Amino acid sequence: MINFKNIIAKEIAEIVNINEKELESYIEIPKDTNNGDYAFPCFRLAKELKKAPQMIAEDIKNQIKIDEKIIDKVEVAGGYLNFYIHQEQMIKEVLQEIANHEEYGKSEIGKGKNIVIDYSAPNIAKPFHIGHLRSTVIGGALYNIYKYLGYHTIGINHLGDYGTQFGKLIEGYKLWGKEYDIEKDPINELTKIYVRINQLCKEDEKVLEQCRMNFKLLEEGDSYCTEIWEKFRSLSLKEFQKVYDLLGSHFDSWNGEAFYSDKMPEVIQILEKSGKLEESQGAKIINLEDKGINTPCIIQKSNGSTTYATRDLAAILYRARTYDFDKALYVVSYEQTLHFKQVFEVAKLLGIDEKYTNGLKHVPFGMVALPTGKMSTREGNIVKLEELLNEAIARAKEIIEEKNPELQNKEEVAKKVGVGAVIFNDLSNSRIKDEIFDWNQVLNFQGETGPYIQYTYVRTKSVLEKAGYVPKIEEVQYDKLLDETSKNIIKLLYNFENILEQVTDKEEPSILSRYLIDLAKAFSNFYNDNKILVEDKEIQNARVYLTYAAGKVLKIGANLLGIEMPDKM
């Protein structure tokens, strides 16, 4: 497909003698279509060319060579150069590309590059609550989009299956295990034990010390502690899988923290050789004050047990050797920002290639809180994700029963709509924003929501079903789509691949979510303003094909976010 930005940048580069890639990055898409399809801000060149922006714009306009089959006209507006693309050419480019490629917008820009994405990572033996939803769906969307752009993508569920909390659970199980039926209801029963042992630890320092000792025994391979830990892990994973099945989540690796237990001694050895490992109150630390980080990174506690940081460093070493990654993303809440600053800095001491340490990136997201405040497993104050998803499905089914009681496959459609509503709600805002969890907002099926996008897609399917055909691209006359509502859809479709690239540039799935809302609105405007099934066959062919194209891209985009599209609802 023609890259209009690139054509404009090349022609400007010939005149101003500045790198065309740099110039291409300056080009904007005006919000007001009266200002053209693309705008070049000449302010960016004023300093270098030592001229007023408007004068630069006039000079470029007078000298630029344009292909009139591609660009209709160029106008100066203040310090901007506005470019108006030949509309039939753009329509032809977009619709032919859609006709020729089943996976429209797919590319090979990531060919030969390996991306590791560490996401979801719930804690074993704790409820999978809505706080874990964000990591799971943000990471899942990034995984899908990177893969679609040709990257070799490795999704890792770095399970929280190690640490002092297991020392606490082991102690609680020793004390009260017979009182709880963890085989029948593992997560809820283990949560009760965890809340209870935490309370006891607050009251009795000796119990807390014993919990720490249990974890040290687990690290050393004690048979009793290991057997209980394996039982907790196995039962927890079965429960988690129910949620992953509902969300459609999958992973290439389930290597959690425990996987690195035999790989941490090498990390400590390397850090000792670096001369940077210091003793502090019996613990081993790396001082990072010279890097502007005032809190030291603890590598080994005073009782000899390891930390999250040690395990993350072992994981970096393993992933560099195993996956030869170009980028390693950590989709973890912003509460862990300091932790990752420390770990990424210490990783530079592991003796691995700079390529790997430069590729480490924390992808933070805001927290999810209840209207009553922050959630805490210790306090038993959480909303379980499985309950949320099932509630969303139930509410979706109620709406279907009310509005379309004759619909076939109601259960399947309710699942797609309910789960889609939850996923889209999470991905529709900037990931860094905190969320107050509100049932009514999450399950609102009106407005800019997942169900709205699904409904718009279903409308495109309905039009095609009534038409009874999708015309061949050779039967489409592009000049029949020159009305404003048709052109708005075409411009959005043209920009689809660029939107996906923006998502990976900023690790921000909400860019795609907002795009899908814009596309759904643009199709609704087109649908309301134009009768699609008309007597004039040429007009009908063009409008039916545009309907097909819009539906196709809505479905591809939603699928990349992890949302399934029903054909009817």
What CATH number should be reported for the domain holding residue 41?
3.30.1360.70
In the annotation, is 339 catalytic?
Answer: no
Domain of residue 339, CATH code: 3.40.50.620
Residue whose pair of structure tokens reads 């609105």 in the numeric block: 521
One domain for residues 149 and 11: no
One domain for residues 129 and 245: yes
CA 32, CA 538: separation in Å to the nearest integer? 30
At 442, the pLDDT band (50, 70, 90 cuts) reads low
How does pLDDT run across 239-272, given as a tens digit for each residue? 899 999 999 999 999 999 999 989 999 999 999 9
User: Annotated catalytic residue: which of 5, 86, 132, 168?
Assistant: 132
CA 136, CA 144: separation in Å to the nearest integer? 12
At 68, the pLDDT band (50, 70, 90 cuts) reads confident
Residue 445 has pLDDT above 70, yes or no: no
The secondary structure of residue 163, as a DSSP letter, is S
- On whether the CB atoms of residues 496 and 557 are closer than 8 A, the answer is yes
**Residues 63, 22, 506: CA angle, nearest 5 degrees:** 140
| Mean pLDDT within 517-543 | 97
How does pLDDT run across 99-130, given as a tens digit for each residue? 999 999 999 999 999 999 999 999 988 888 88
What residues make up the domain containing 533? Answer: 445-561
One domain for residues 59 and 124: no
Which of 331, 349, 370 terminates a domain? The answer is 370
One domain for residues 130 and 71: no
One domain for residues 168 and 269: yes
How does pLDDT run across 210-221, given as a tens digit for each residue? 999 998 899 888
Residue 184 has pLDDT above 70, yes or no: yes
Looking at per-residue confidence, does 15 or 66 come out higher? 15
One domain for residues 353 and 450: no
For residue 543, CA distances in Å to 282, 483, 537 come to 74, 11, 10
How does pLDDT run across 287-339, given as a tens digit for each residue? 999 999 999 999 999 988 889 999 999 999 999 999 999 999 999 999 999 99
In the annotation, is 129 catalytic?
Answer: yes
Domain membership flag for residue 159: yes
One domain for residues 265 and 129: yes
| Surface-to-core class of residue 539, CB atoms within 10 Å of its CB (0-12 exposed, 13-18 middle, 19+ buried) | middle
User: Annotated catalytic residue: which of 5, 51, 92, 126?
Assistant: 126
- On whether the CB atoms of residues 8 and 40 are closer than 8 A, the answer is yes
Looking at residue 355, what is its pLDDT? 96
Looking at residue 1, what is its pLDDT? 87
Which of 317, 344, 370 terminates a domain? The answer is 370
CA 307, CA 240: separation in Å to the nearest integer? 24
How does pLDDT run across 365-412, given as a tens digit for each residue? 998 776 666 555 555 556 788 888 998 999 999 989 998 999 999 999
Buried-exposed string 451-466: b where 16+ CB fall within 10 A, e elsewhere: bbbbbbbbbbbebbee
Q: What is the number of structural domains in the chain?
A: 3
Domain membership flag for residue 331: yes
Residue 89 has pLDDT above 80, yes or no: yes
Which of 85, 111, 127 terminates a domain? The answer is 85
User: Annotated catalytic residue: which of 86, 129, 147, 461?
Assistant: 129
Domain membership flag for residue 548: yes
Looking at residue 142, what is its pLDDT? 98
Domain membership flag for residue 96: no
Q: Phi then psi for 156, rounded to 5 degrees?
A: -120, 125
Looking at residue 510, what is its pLDDT? 97
Domain membership flag for residue 381: no
One domain for residues 219 and 315: yes
Looking at residue 12, what is its pLDDT? 95
Domain membership flag for residue 92: no
One domain for residues 76 and 198: no
Domain membership flag for residue 229: yes
Looking at residue 502, what is its pLDDT? 96
In the annotation, is 132 catalytic?
Answer: yes
Helix ranges (H only) for 248-286 are 264-274
CA 46, CA 25: separation in Å to the nearest integer? 16
Residue 532 has pLDDT above 90, yes or no: yes
Domain membership flag for residue 98: no
Looking at residue 223, what is its pLDDT? 94
One domain for residues 210 and 350: yes
Average pLDDT taken over every residue of the chain: 93
Candidates 401, 427, 433; CA nearest to 414 is 401
Looking at residue 309, what is its pLDDT? 95
Domain of residue 501, CATH code: 1.10.730.10
One domain for residues 49 and 127: no
Helix, strand, coil percent content, the chain, rounded in steps of 5: 60, 10, 30
One domain for residues 556 and 472: yes
